[in-house]
Homo-oligomer: A and B are copies of this chain.
């Protein structure tokens, strides 16, 4: 649907990022990485929710030592998130993680940077450079009047890229996340014009779900809608499973993935006679596991109702006391309010059985 920026393709385990590959959804474990059982359990929950790449922090030697065993017990690619300590990065590469997230600029010593790059090359794993507004290099901040700016974030990312390119390492992904949505959008616009490395998109520290879900949807959505971004992560103070569900819905809303059921339901107004909210919530609860593309419209009145119901695979257009059930644009039934949910569920089951082919 959208024009998408052409980026270099990299591979994180079996998952491709960039170069036109489907946009993937990532998350991060919130357990102590050294607690192997808890971390593996959380990764399995994330996998089940649709997470395609998972990242774990490696803040200490115990975490670095746990990676090999975690890797054995999970099915999706694992990214080791490392700050400052280059030996953990080398340990992670040797544990055969699928990507490192480390900023060479933070390692400092050129010999140490080279050792990390050599380990990444030896095991054929990419490196993500991840610049965050909260940890922007002090020198760059000073250059930009002491403040974090989109230009400063991009400059920092490109400085890190140069350190890797100097060592002939180009298996790179980049993220530049700020807590400010406009600053993040601006930073991604700038960097997407300056290099062709695939971009990992997110709004950092978006907050508790109540706030962070909207902030992430606005920011990540706005960037993707401009054709920028190859993989996404929603950052919420909360259960990482929710990060994955929100990430997947952002992609679905932008029609960048088409899997699963889409329920359209009207906001209701003074024209509505049926309980649209209750009907929509019941149908949503009973159909949320459907992976097949299917569009269901639940509409309250005669203004937009018949039009939307007819454009959907299955539709309900409410009227006074009765409603009409539509199947691929044709009215198939007139039902009383009490029967509406069941009639919709019957039609959905029928649609799934027949693959949408009307055969009677």
A185 close to B304 (CB less than 8 A): no
Query: Bound complex: CA of A220 vs CA of B267, how far in Å?
Result: 16
**In the assembled complex, A270 has its CB within 8 A of some CB on chain B:** yes
Give A353 to B264 CA distance when docked, in angstroms.
47
Task: Tell me if A269 is interfacial: C-beta within 8 Å of chain B.
Answer: yes
**A236 CA to B265 CA in the complex, in Å?**
8
Contact of A253 (CB < 8 Å), options: B32, B218, B226, B249: B218
**Chain B residue at minimal CB-CB distance from A251:** B218
Majority-rule SS of A interface residues: mixed
**How many residues on chain A are close to B (CB under 8 Å)?**
87
Inter-chain contact A225/B185, CB cutoff 8 Å:
yes
Minimum C-beta distance from A37 to chain B (A): 14
Instruction: Tell which of B59, B134, B219, B311 touches A270, judged by Cβ atoms closer than 8 Å.
Output: B59
Say if the beta carbon of A148 comes within 8 Å of chain B.
yes
Kindly list chain B residues whose C-beta atoms are within 8 Å of the C-beta of A81. Answer: 269
Cβ-defined contact, B30 with A269, below 8 A: yes
Name the segment of A15-23, A45-53, A164-172, A274-282 touching the other chain. A274-282
A277 to B211, CA, bound (A): 12
Q: For residue A69, which residues in chain B have a CB less than 8 angstroms away from its CB?
A: none
Interface residues of A (CB under 8 A from B): 1-2, 28-34, 39, 56-59, 63, 81, 83, 132-136, 147-148, 179-182, 185, 204-208, 210-215, 217-222, 224-226, 235-238, 240, 243, 246, 249-250, 253-255, 263-272, 276-277, 280-281, 284, 297-299, 301, 303-308, 311
